[in-house]
Amino acid sequence: MKLTKKANSTPVDRVLLVILDGVGYTPKDKNFGNAVEAANMPSLKGLWANHPTLQISAHGKAVGMPSDEDMGNSEVGHNVLGCGRIFDQGAKLVSNSIDSGEMFEGNIWKELISNTVNKKSTLHFIGLFSDGNVHSHNDHLKAMIDRALKENVSRIRIHILLDGRDVPEKSALEYVEPFEEYLDSLRKSGKDIEIASGGGRMTITMDRYEADWKMIERGWDIHVRGEGRIFSSAKEAIETFRKEDPKVIDQYLPGFVVGKEGTPSGKIVDGDSVVFYNFRGDRAIEISRAFTEKDLNTFERKNFPEVYFAGMMQYDGDLKIPKNYLVTPPAIDRTLGEYMAKNGISQYAISETQKYGHVTFFWNGNRSGQFDKNTETYKEIPSDIIPFDQKPEMKAGEITDELIRAIESKKYTFLRVNYANGDMVGHTGNFDATVQGLNYLDTCITRLQKAIEEAGGVMLITADHGNADEMYQLDKKGNVSRSGDKPVPKTSHTLNPVNLCLYDSGKRFSLNQSIEKPGLANIASTVLDLLGFEAPEGYHPSLIQRNS
């Protein structure tokens, strides 16, 4: 994996890549709750206006999603940023596997079914319940249910994690009600199938990066043990919680159990089969470990049923989590991080817990750990365990302190950082808090600009996808949706491009405006170009242009 030096090229000493998570680009005349435009950001806006800046694609086919109607997300964005190429991602791989029938011909699916049929046990599905196509898709769930029933599975229970993050913030019933109609049609033909439990994705089950194992414990108690507030249906649970707290949005709804006369309808017990049907890995690893690791001591499981567990995909290929999976994830090889490590180029990666895995695991092609501990330093700043609109600055200040120390040390040739504010605060739907978070973030950019200039380096500023740039829902006519006199918040990602800005105080470089359809995949080669190396075979071309 030898990198080739560029001929007649004077490299820079160091490159800093700043990823402003969720900070997309929306034209000023399309203000659908544009927190980026509303924010007071003299440093960033000055950089965008006065230094080389391109709008690049960060969604759809540009990041390996099935179509350009699909949002980008942090996982696929960082995969593409880190490998310089575009691989088919989870949503597309799963859809193709279902459409071709390959999933159902695989050994894992057959073992799930045979375990259930032979033991006359229950097949459980757990996952994010929406069509957001970021972590999961309900069409995948229905396809597996239909196939399982054809293969004589006699009892199915579904445990739904309500979204309100990749889809509108109070849309849960728009998914639950038609799904219950679908289940009713199956029950009329004698099928034993029900929703057994659920709760908001930011309340139970879908923690990531071990930020809050209590979320996993709450999900375990709800799904496995059937311990929680019992309702006659998921619809009743959602409507009740909304009446009790009209401000609560779907992702933060409490956990609930569905049952009759105080008896849960679908506890998970010995002999059952369980499918966690999310295809995205970051929020699937901990719950997978809870079902598969007997000696896990991060929380008290109280009981550990012997089940056959499978994930939709293998969420961590290095740690083999989980062992059983239905669809093979993309094999992302020859990442920028590996090339640098094999060529002795020193690297520094930093973020807070909520995005730490994105600048490490996803950046490195879904690979845990470092390629070379001698040349790589990874720094995690622990995230607060609170709703992020309560502290919209998040850990940006602490991240910047550490990052500037790393820059000033001059130990590292390539540094990368993810600031989570635009995404994590944006997902709360709180426009004012998102603006506050961006305002604070701008003060960090001011400090970085000075530090990288004094260190003689170049700074690239971009984003992995949009979010904060469009925070109001639109109606079918393209107008802002309103509830009374207030806009309806939008908590999902956007289909907008993102800025790529080059800050070079020496004005040695500019960005090539002639590259057709530039996207996140061009950034790896851009970094290497600045450092004086040719792009590896298959990498999308560099966007750098040297000024005469």
Catalytic residues: 74
Angle between helices 285-292 and 213-223 (to 10 degrees): 60
Amino acid at 390: Q
Residue 2: how many other CB atoms lie within 10 Å: 7
Q: Is the dihedral of CA 306, 310, 315, 321 positive or negative?
A: positive
Identify the CA nearest to 255 among candidates 237, 233, 274: 237
Residue 286 burial by CB count (10 A; 0-12/13-18/19+): exposed, middle or buried?
A: buried
Q: Helix-strand-coil percent breakdown of the chain, rounded to 5?
A: 35, 20, 45
Amino acid at 287: I
Q: DSSP secondary structure string, 444-488? A: HHHHHHHHHHHTT-EEEEE-SSBSTT--B-B-TTSSBPEETTEEP
CA separation for the pair 425, 387 (Å, rounded): 8
Helices (H) and strands (E) in the chain, counts: 17, 20
Residues 17-35: b if buried by 16+ CB within 10 A, e if exposed: bbbbbbbbbbeeeeebbbb
CA separation for the pair 435, 419 (Å, rounded): 14
Q: Give CA separation, 535 vs 83, 222, 336, 459, in Å.
A: 11, 50, 10, 19
Radius of gyration of the CA atoms of the chain, in A:
24
Identify the CA nearest to 361 among candidates 412, 316, 414: 316
| Distant-in-sequence, close-in-space partners of 100: CB < 8 Å, separation ≥ 6 | none
